[in-house]
């Protein structure tokens, strides 16, 4: 039972962690990517759809990466080139993602709810883990090293703190922010593909289930630090495993499952209240920048 709980905690943590690290990457450069929830949903759907028609989980994973990159370019264009409101852009993508995946699911498979079973990522690593598990567990440590000990990472943080000074120093603010937003979106899309290809083996309607928003909460709770975001994601992922255990443990009491499903989000709200005023985003986070002539 303990190993089952640990395994459930890992599989619950990975998509939240990928979203959290994606959010951290984007916001360190000064762009808010609230579209992570919708991108995760699109990655899950198109990853499963591609795996279904190609009969290959690898193709599904590649398509998921391309979908994430494409939506990331769109969000970056609106936020950076058009200097649009980053929150509205992200919210719009989230709304479109829900409607688009629901429509395509019904149109292509002639019924709502789920796709047929698709090829899954093999769990052939020690402990029954798969390649995305391994990638996700090492990612925060790599990002911590990258953003605090490499020239590109330091430039990215500089852009997030003061883009005008960064531009004077010869750093292309537009280039740094584009790369950061697209990378952020790819990670969120991989989080969605992890759900459909790595855990369930099919796509379920609205299967991202708020994990993208939990990733944003983990980023804030982790104070915009890759390691801090990882720790917060582990906490939120563990609450997912806990609520599943509680559903089984208290099944005989006929408690509605929605009561337990609220647990991760209630704890996320309480955690954010606890860090309010203590966490500090990059100074230029969410602020459009116009290049000086």
In a domain, 285, yes or no: no
CA 64-70-76 angle, to 5 degrees, is 135
Model pTM score: 0.92
Cα separation, 83 vs 75, whole angstroms: 11
Q: What is the CATH number of the domain that holds 157?
A: 1.10.3470
In a domain, 284, yes or no: no
State the residue range of the domain holding 183. Answer: 2-275
Q: What is the pLDDT of residue 292?
A: 63
In a domain, 169, yes or no: yes
Cα separation, 36 vs 204, whole angstroms: 18
Burial class (CB in 10 A: 0-12, 13-18, 19+), 247: middle
DSSP the chain: -HHHHHHHHHHHHHHHHHHHHHHHHHHHTT---TTHHHHHHHHHHHHHHHHHHHT-HHHHHHHHHHHHHHHHHHHHIIIIIS---HHHHHHHHHHHHHHHHHHHHHHHHSSSSBPPP-PPPP--BGGGB-HHHHHHHHHHHHHHHHHHHSHHHHHHHHHHH-HHHHHHTT--HHHHHHHHHHHHHHHHHHHHHIIIIIIISS-BTTTTTTHHHHHHHHHHHTTT-HHHHHHHHHHHHHHHHHHHHHHHHTGGGT--HHHHHTHHHHHHHHHHHHHTTT----TTTT-------
From the list 239, 129, 135, the residue with the least C-alpha distance to 187 is: 135
Q: Residues 13, 239: contact at Cβ < 8 Å?
A: no
- Regions of the chain short of the pLDDT cut 70: 1-5, 247-253, 255-260, 275-277, 292-293
Place of tokens 């990378």: 183
Question: What total number of domains does the chain contain?
Answer: 1
Q: What is the pLDDT of residue 1?
A: 56
In a domain, 150, yes or no: yes
In a domain, 195, yes or no: yes
In a domain, 79, yes or no: yes
Q: What is the pLDDT of residue 100?
A: 95
From the list 70, 53, 14, 52, the residue with the least C-alpha distance to 192 is: 14
Tokens of 190: 């991989």
Tokens of 79: 């936020």
In a domain, 281, yes or no: no
Longest dimension (CA), the chain: 69
Cα separation, 140 vs 175, whole angstroms: 23
In a domain, 199, yes or no: yes
Q: What is the pLDDT of residue 290?
A: 75
């Amino acid at each position: 039972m303990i190993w089952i709980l640990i395994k459930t905690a890992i599989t619950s943590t990975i998509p939240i962690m990928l979203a959290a690290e994606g959010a951290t990457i984007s916001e360190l450069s000064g762009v808010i990517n609230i579209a992570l929830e919708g991108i995760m949903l699109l990655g899950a759907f198109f990853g499963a759809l591609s795996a279904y028609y190609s009969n290959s989980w690898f193709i599904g994973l590649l398509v998921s990466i391309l979908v994430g990159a494409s939506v990331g370019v769109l969000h970056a264009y609106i936020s950076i080139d058009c200097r649009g409101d980053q929150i509205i852009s992200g919210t719009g993508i989230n709304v479109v993602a829900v409607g688009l995946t629901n429509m395509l699911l019904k149109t292509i498979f002639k019924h709502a709810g789920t796709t047929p079973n698709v090829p899954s990522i093999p769990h052939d690593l020690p402990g029954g883990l798969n390649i995305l598990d391994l990638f996700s567990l090492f990612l925060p440590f790599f990002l911590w090293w990258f953003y605090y000990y490499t020239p590109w990472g330091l430039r990215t943080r500089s852009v997030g703190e003061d883009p005008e000074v960064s531009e004077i120093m010869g750093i292309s603010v537009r280039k740094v922010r584009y790369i950061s937003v697209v990378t952020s979106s790819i990670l969120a899309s991989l989080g969605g593909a992890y759900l459909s290809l790595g855990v369930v083996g099919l796509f379920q309607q609205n299967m991202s289930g708020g994990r993208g928003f939990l990733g944003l909460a983990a980023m804030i709770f982790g104070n915009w630090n890759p390691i801090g975001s990882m720790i917060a994601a582990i906490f939120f992922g563990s609450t997912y495993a806990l609520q599943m255990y509680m559903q089984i443990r208290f099944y005989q009491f006929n408690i509605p499952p929605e009561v337990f499903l609220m647990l991760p989000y209630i704890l996320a709200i309480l955690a954010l209240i606890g860090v309010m005023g203590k966490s500090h985003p990059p100074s230029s986070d969410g602020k459009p920048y116009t290049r000086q002539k």
